[in-house]
Amino acid sequence: MTETPGSPTPQAAAPDRERRPRVVLGVSGGIAAYKACELLRRLTESGHDVTVIPTEGALEFVGATTWAALSGHPVATDVWTDAHAVPHVELGQQADLVVVAPATADLLARAAHGRADDLLTNTLLTARCPVVFAPAMHTEMWEHPATVANVATLRERGAVVIEPAEGRLTGADTGKGRLPEPAEIFEICRDVLHRGAQAPDLTGRHVVVSAGGTREFLDPVRFLGNRSSGRQGHALARTAAARGAEVTLIAANVTLPDPAGVKVVRVTSTAELRDAVVAATATADAVVMAAAPADFRPVATSASKIKKTDDRTAPAIELTVNPDILAEISRQRVRSGAVIVGFAAETGDDSGTVLEHARAKLARKGCDLLVVNDVSGGAVFGSTENEAVLLAPDAEPVVVPRGSKEQLAHAIWDEVLSRIT
């Protein structure tokens, strides 16, 4: 069997639960190197044993003393230091995860071409564990055909290359190429580490996820809305990125930090959500509608704040029905073979149980999979945990027990992958 840098192999194992997971943090020579200190802190404080391998360029930004003090391990950049221990082999062989943040254009090129001219690139060649690259560079460098080809090569070999964020770069420049926030890189690393030897099985797939709750304004101050926090949608986006997907997250009034490696489109109303979802669906292999769009909107929106009257009579508000986005994209099927997933926040009542209402919704919407949440008493909303039943018209229900929203997200992606053609 041919082995390539960064590729998980059948022999690779999940981290030993009897010891601290071993992480190699590679840091290459970009201005964003200082942000790796925050990533290192999060890794060590969450119980990981981290060895930092900076490049010579990285030491121009953050010194070896800082890395040694924060990690508790000595720092070297070359293969000659402590040569008797063969560090360029040992570090890669013993690691449960290698993450390079920031990964410059030069580092990505050297990794893609199998260079072994310093300790970090040697370690990448000997690693048989999951490898994550968090690129950071100017937009022109990220978009250059050479970098595009290098990223594609690394992904084909099984590495997770996170899409850089958009924002302020070095100097006055703004664009795509910014290192994602360390907290979000940490979440990707934790997810990849948890999956162990499992390959990034969504590589080459484009998935669209909606999150949050829409708002329909009555006047400049008041709106009709709901309690959706967007946490489940963010978990779906983050886990998809960790599994290698190109992710478009359409966020409706979400205040959470943007997940690393994800394109975020911000919307407010159901009409805006509909337009963004339809546009993104044209190239999507899967669409997961985790957002909670308002079912109704006011027929008219007041241009000024609606005032109380002297007799304190409440104004009458006429409502109209909003577009049914899930039914529309399920019916149109812009891309053949795309998997459409809906969410149903249900409560039981005199007319039926939660699952009975959900089965009726599944048939009505025409989607491939429906994630059913029992929200009786306000359960699920804003929580870091979730539980659900996954309904499909052609299979038995899948019960996902209570756990983190990331666990439910992975269960959903597993079902999606079994249906993508």
| Each residue's pLDDT tens digit, 365-404 | 999 999 998 887 655 566 788 889 999 998 899 999 999 9
Residue 8 scores a pLDDT above 50? no
Residue 221 scores a pLDDT above 60? yes
Question: At 106, is the secondary structure helix, strand, or coil?
Answer: helix
- Give residue 7's pLDDT band: very low, low, confident or very high (50, 70, 90): very low
Residue 3 scores a pLDDT above 80? no
Residues annotated as catalytic (active site), given as ranges: 226
Identify whether the C-beta of residue 224 lies closer than 8 Å to the C-beta of residue 215: yes
Question: What confidence score (pLDDT) does residue 309 get?
Answer: 82
- Give residue 406's pLDDT band: very low, low, confident or very high (50, 70, 90): very high
- Give residue 13's pLDDT band: very low, low, confident or very high (50, 70, 90): very low
Residue 23 scores a pLDDT above 80? yes
- Give residue 168's pLDDT band: very low, low, confident or very high (50, 70, 90): confident
Report the range of poorest mean pLDDT among 72-86, 126-140, 276-290.
Answer: 72-86
Using CA atoms, how far apart are residues 257 and 80, in angstroms rounded to an integer?
Answer: 41
- Give residue 18's pLDDT band: very low, low, confident or very high (50, 70, 90): low
The arithmetic mean of pLDDT across residues 216-228, rounded, is: 92
Residue 314 scores a pLDDT above 90? no
Question: What confidence score (pLDDT) does residue 90 get?
Answer: 84
With CA atoms as reference, report the closest residue to 245 among 111, 416, 23.
Answer: 416
- Give residue 283's pLDDT band: very low, low, confident or very high (50, 70, 90): very high
Residue 290, CA distances (Å) to 328, 372, 380, 399 in order: 15, 11, 13, 18
Q: What CATH class is the domain 22-195?
A: alpha beta
Q: Which of 2-6, 81-85, 99-103, 330-334 has the highest mean pLDDT?
A: 99-103
- Give residue 253's pLDDT band: very low, low, confident or very high (50, 70, 90): very high
The arithmetic mean of pLDDT across residues 314-343, rounded, is: 91
Domain 206-302+312-417 in CATH 3.30.70.270: no
Identify whether the C-beta of residue 84 lies closer than 8 Å to the C-beta of residue 53: no
Residue 214 scores a pLDDT above 50? yes
| Each residue's pLDDT tens digit, 298-311 | 999 999 998 888 77
Do the domains 206-302+312-417 and 22-195 match in fold?
Answer: yes
Using CA atoms, how far apart are residues 109 and 145, in angstroms rounded to an integer?
Answer: 12
Question: What confidence score (pLDDT) does residue 414 get?
Answer: 96
**Token digits of residue 147:** 């970098």
Q: Where are the domains of the chain?
A: 22-195, 206-302+312-417
The arithmetic mean of pLDDT across residues 281-301, rounded, is: 95
Using CA atoms, how far apart are residues 373 and 379, in angstroms rounded to an integer?
Answer: 9
Q: Which long-range contacts (CB under 8 A, 24 or more apart) does 163-166 make?
A: 163/135, 163/241, 163/246, 163/261, 163/262, 163/263, 164/134, 164/135, 164/136, 164/137, 165/258, 165/260
Identify whether the C-beta of residue 29 lies closer than 8 Å to the C-beta of residue 61: yes
Q: What are phi and psi of 148, to 5 degrees?
A: -55, -45
Question: What confidence score (pLDDT) does residue 15 get?
Answer: 46
Pairing mode of beta strands 385-392, 369-374: antiparallel
DSSP H/E element including 287 = strand 286-289
pTM to 2 decimal places: 0.86
- Give residue 345's pLDDT band: very low, low, confident or very high (50, 70, 90): confident
Mean pLDDT for the chain overall: 90
R_g of the chain computed on alpha carbons: 24
Question: Letter for the amino acid at 123?
Answer: T
Q: Greatest CA span in the chain, whole angstroms?
A: 89
Question: What confidence score (pLDDT) does residue 379 get?
Answer: 57
- Give residue 37's pLDDT band: very low, low, confident or very high (50, 70, 90): very high
Residue 5 scores a pLDDT above 60? no
